[in-house]
């Protein structure tokens, strides 16, 4: 990349495996030694006041954003410091910046670019390697197998590595333990570590990731086996205070064995002032719930059978009672 060595670079990346592997790929393209990796507060798809202060302290002269579709006002904030370059595969508007590489918004199909690592590998004419695969395995998991074109590349890289699909998937899962344990410092360290890694075994040997995996497994099964409040015949509620970002897995597991019930899970332990809420089951009004929560100013999203949201802790009781009513 044409960025001179004396620049102070802010490398802004998503907290998941694709974001971390994308940042590692970009590090391989940079000559500068003065690079600060940065991920926003986990769950924040924008730059909030606290993060703005942090970035002001870093005072970068060039900004590179990977695997994250930031809103315009966050981009405008970054543009005040220097040139902004973006490499991404999310649906978003094209930003007026130095470079915005996103084949999806140019009309390419998401199956051609299953991850940001794919976009970056392609842009820099790199030979696809473990890092390229990691991003796609992290974002698509088992579903990647349905993508014929991508699987051709996957097959080639796997055979070069002497590895298998499940081994690389395991690597992606291990890296994703970092945002599930909320370890933001380790997330921003990891691209520097991955930059020099070529084989899956080098990732599977990282001790703290192994420990994270065990801790998360234990925490998830404890939460899944914990007490359930029966709100009525159809609705079950599980109240958690877990320091881990495991609510989506916990909700899915609880709902699996109770297919006829609507399962509501809340967790007040992951972020100090916020409560996460997940709903899963035979929902007939998930869209209406999401719209309602957005109207209240909360961050909410989901699909036909699942809804997720983050709300201020102080609103929890009121929101839960309303959800039970709407369901």
Contacts with Mn ion by CB under 5 A lie at 18, 67, 116, 139
To the nearest whole angstrom, how small is the minimum distance from the Cβ of residue 259 to Mn ion?
A: 31
Given the complex with Mn ion, which of 14 and 262 has the nearer CB atom?
A: 14
67 or 223: CB nearest Mn ion: 67
Shortest distance, CB of residue 134 to Mn ion, whole angstroms?
11
Shortest Å, Cβ 14 to Mn ion: 6
Shortest spacing between CB 265 and Mn ion, in angstroms: 25
Residue 116 vs 209, nearer CB to Mn ion: 116
- Tell how strand 229-230 and strand 9-13 pair up: unpaired
Q: Please identify, using beta-carbon distances, which residue of 187 and 224 lies nearer to Mn ion.
A: 187
Among residues 19 and 308, whose Cβ is nearest to Mn ion?
19
Smallest separation (angstroms) from Mn ion to the CB of 21: 9
Q: Smallest distance, Å, CB 141 to Mn ion?
A: 12
- Residues 6+ positions from 106 with CB-CB distance below 8 Å: none
> How many other C-beta atoms can be found within 10 angstroms of the C-beta atom of residue 116?
33
* Shortest CB 90 distance to Mn ion, Å: 7
Instruction: Kindly tell me which of 62 and 67 has the beta carbon lying closer to Mn ion.
Output: 67
Closest to 286 (Cα-Cα) out of 271, 306, 266: 306
- Shortest distance (Å) from residue 43 CB to Mn ion: 15
Cβ proximity to Mn ion, 47 vs 172, nearer residue: 172
**For Mn ion, which residue has the nearest CB?**
18
Residue closer to Mn ion, measured from CB, 174 or 237? 174
């Amino acid at each position: 990349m044409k960025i001179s060595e004396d620049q102070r670079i802010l490398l802004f990346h998503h907290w998941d495996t694709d974001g971390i592997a994308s940042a590692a790929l970009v590090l391989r393209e940079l000559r500068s030694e003065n690079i600060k990796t940065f991920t926003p507060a986990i769950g924040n798809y924008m730059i909030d006041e606290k993060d703005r202060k942090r970035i002001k302290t870093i005072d970068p002269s060039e900004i590179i954003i990977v695997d994250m579709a930031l809103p315009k006002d966050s981009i405008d904030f970054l543009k005040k410091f220097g040139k902004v370059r973006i490499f991404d595969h999310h649906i978003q508007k094209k930003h007026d910046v130095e470079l915005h590489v996103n084949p999806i918004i140019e009309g390419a199909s998401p199956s051609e670019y299953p991850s940001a690592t794919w976009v970056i590998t392609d842009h820099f004419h790199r030979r696809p390697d473990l890092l390229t695969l990691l991003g796609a395995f992290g974002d698509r998991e088992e579903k990647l197998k349905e993508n014929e074109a991508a699987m051709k590349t996957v097959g080639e890289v796997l055979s070069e590595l002497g590895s298998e699909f499940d081994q690389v998937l395991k690597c992606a899962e291990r890296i994703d333990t970092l945002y599930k344990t909320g370890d933001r410092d380790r997330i921003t360290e990891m691209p520097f570590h991955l930059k020099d890694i070529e084989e899956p075994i080098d990732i599977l040997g990282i001790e703290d990731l192994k420990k994270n995996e065990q801790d998360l497994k234990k925490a998830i099964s404890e939460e899944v086996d914990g007490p359930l409040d029966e709100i009525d015949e159809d609705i079950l509620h599980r109240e958690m205070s877990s320091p881990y970002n495991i609510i989506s897995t916990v909700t899915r597991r609880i709902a699996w064995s109770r297919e006829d019930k609507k399962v509501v899970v809340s967790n007040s332990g992951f972020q100090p002032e916020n409560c996460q809420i997940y709903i899963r089951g035979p929902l007939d009004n998930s869209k209406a719930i999401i719209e309602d929560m957005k109207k209240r100013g909360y961050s909410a999203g989901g699909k036909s059978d699942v809804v997720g949201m983050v709300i201020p802790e102080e609103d929890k009781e009121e929101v839960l009672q309303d959800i039970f009513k709407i369901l």
